[in-house]
Structure 1
Amino acid sequence: MKNPIRAISLAVLTMALFVVSNPSSAQEVSRRNPTFGIKGGINLNNLYVDNVTDQNMKVGANVGLYAKLPVATGFAVQPEITYSMKGSQTTYNSVLGSGKYRFNLDYLEVPVAAVVNIAPNFNIHAGPYVAFLLSAKVKDVDANGTVNGVTQLNTDNFHSTDWGLFGGLGFDIGGATLGARYTKGFQEVGKPGATSNFLQNAKNSGFTFYVGIGL
């Protein structure tokens, strides 16, 4: 799929119109009180540039807080605040050995989702996010998984904020929520002249899988 965010956004709009125009379906999802909870999971992240399809996906973690605020029957707004590990990785193979360089970008991320229930325990959601860079580093990991070294990078060489769109699916089980979403950033990671050409043009993207527990 060339543009998953556009497809998800169109699906959200379609489902919202379906709920509004089908009262019998909307009645299946009762209005609820606001809920608050904690969430955590994994990110499968990569940095992308225009016209480049090479994938160097890196696993990271995400953890944070969320609130689900009902607006109408079957529709809610869900703001979140999360610590999210993004970045990319590349492999190397030399006479000194082989391994991976993991480029880690850590953010404090604030997504705000429009949540449309399409069944009593199932929703589709999408919205914008803004993220604030906390740290940047490169980790050298050999073929055996041993960390040979970590190099802290100067965050002044990177844009301090990232922003973009996301969309995904959620499934409620009792007081827990299982979710998956795709996120695409529109802000270049590196500042012009301060980092390599790749990082100047690269942007964040990736998939997030999480579990949320209501408090």
Structure 2
Amino acid sequence: MKKIFLVAFALVIGGATFAQTTTTSSSVKSRFGLKGGLSLPKYKYVNDDANTSDETETTTNFHLTGYADVPVSNLFSIQPGISIQGKGAKYFDNGTTQVEDNVLAIEVPVNLLANLPAGPGHLFIGGGPYAGFNVSAQRETISGTTSERKLSIGDNSGDDLKALDFGVNFLAGYQLNSGLNFGAGYGLGLTNLRPTSTSTTNVEQNNRVLSFSVGYAF
């Protein structure tokens, strides 16, 4: 866990430092912010053998992100961050048993945003890659009775979920000049979350996360 936080911290500081060196002459100042809100995660399954895909139902979770917003020009900024993400999904096993996964992940996004002046603030839109680290996970099964078990994270025999997840984020929203902002995002997971050693079929399991946030940039 300590190594994960150190890597995440180094990536954020490195991204902010790189962006800062490219904008020393800009009149737009860097800001740090905090945002959080509602997440609606789900899984997408792609069967390459049958050339089919399917998505689960969404479950309800949360996210909390600390970030730096560093301008590279009057219209564009780089926004690295560290995020606590609640992920998972809700689905039915064999059509009758309800299953709900609740996954806690640490995510390191680095986004490029376009900032368009509008009224007493600006619209922002953009996106960028993220690296995710699944920290813990729990599965609740409801079939007459309710049972829970902790999911094993790793890529070894018997594990339930891979530890690493890479993907792309898309963001849009509005920020007032005071720093108060409102946004929506979509996370497109590109990593097959099914452990290699336990995958018996050519089926990929990917994260999909729709989110809504309220934040403040200082």
Matching residue of 2:196: 192
Q: Alignment partner for residue 112 of structure 2, among 104, 111, 114? A: 114
Matching residue of 2:216: 213
Change (3 A) 1:67 1:142: farther
Q: How does 1:162-181 map to 2 (within 5 A)?
A: 162-173=165-176, 174-181=178-185
Matching residue of 1:79: 80
When the two structures are superposed, what TM-score results if normalisation uses the length of structure 1? 0.74
Matching residue of 1:105: 103
When the two structures are superposed, what TM-score results if normalisation uses the length of structure 2? 0.73
| Deviation (angstroms), 1:109 | 0.3
Matching residue of 1:90: 91
Q: Alignment partner for residue 152 of structure 1, among 150, 153, 156? A: 150
Contact 1:162–1:187 (8 Å) recurs in 2 = yes
| Deviation (angstroms), 1:32 | 2.3
Query: What CA distance in whole angstroms lies between the structure 1 residues aligned with 2:97 and 2:33?
Result: 39
Residue 33 of structure 2 is aligned to residue 37 of structure 1: yes
Contact 1:57–1:89 (8 Å) recurs in 2 = yes
Alignment gaps of 5+ in structure 1: 1-29
| Deviation (angstroms), 1:119 | 2.5
Q: How many pairs does the alignment contain?
A: 179
Query: What CA distance in whole angstroms lies between the structure 2 residues aligned with 1:212 and 1:74?
Result: 20
Letter in 2 for 1:69: V
| Deviation (angstroms), 1:31 | 4.2
Query: What CA distance in whole angstroms lies between the structure 2 residues aligned with 1:212 and 1:142?
Result: 39
Matching residue of 2:129: 128
Matching residue of 2:17: none
Deviations 1:43-65 (A, max 9, x none): 11111122223431111110121
| Deviation (angstroms), 1:102 | 0.8
RMSD of equivalent CA atoms: 2.6
Change (3 A) 1:197 1:152: farther
Residue 216 of structure 2 is aligned to residue 202 of structure 1: no
Query: What CA distance in whole angstroms lies between the structure 2 residues aligned with 1:178 and 1:150?
Result: 35
Contact 1:128–1:165 (8 Å) recurs in 2 = yes
SS at match of 2:191: coil
Contact 2:42–2:55 (8 Å) recurs in 1 = no
Deviations 1:124-145 (A, max 9, x none): 11110010110121024689xx
Query: What CA distance in whole angstroms lies between the structure 1 residues aligned with 2:83 and 2:110?
Result: 11
Alignment gaps of 5+ in structure 2: 1-25, 47-51
Change (3 A) 1:93 1:53: closer
Change (3 A) 1:201 1:92: closer
Letter in 2 for 1:131: G
Letter in 2 for 1:177: N
Change (3 A) 1:93 1:187: closer
Deviations 1:142-169 (A, max 9, x none): 89xxx94421011122322101111121
Contact 1:31–1:74 (8 Å) recurs in 2 = no
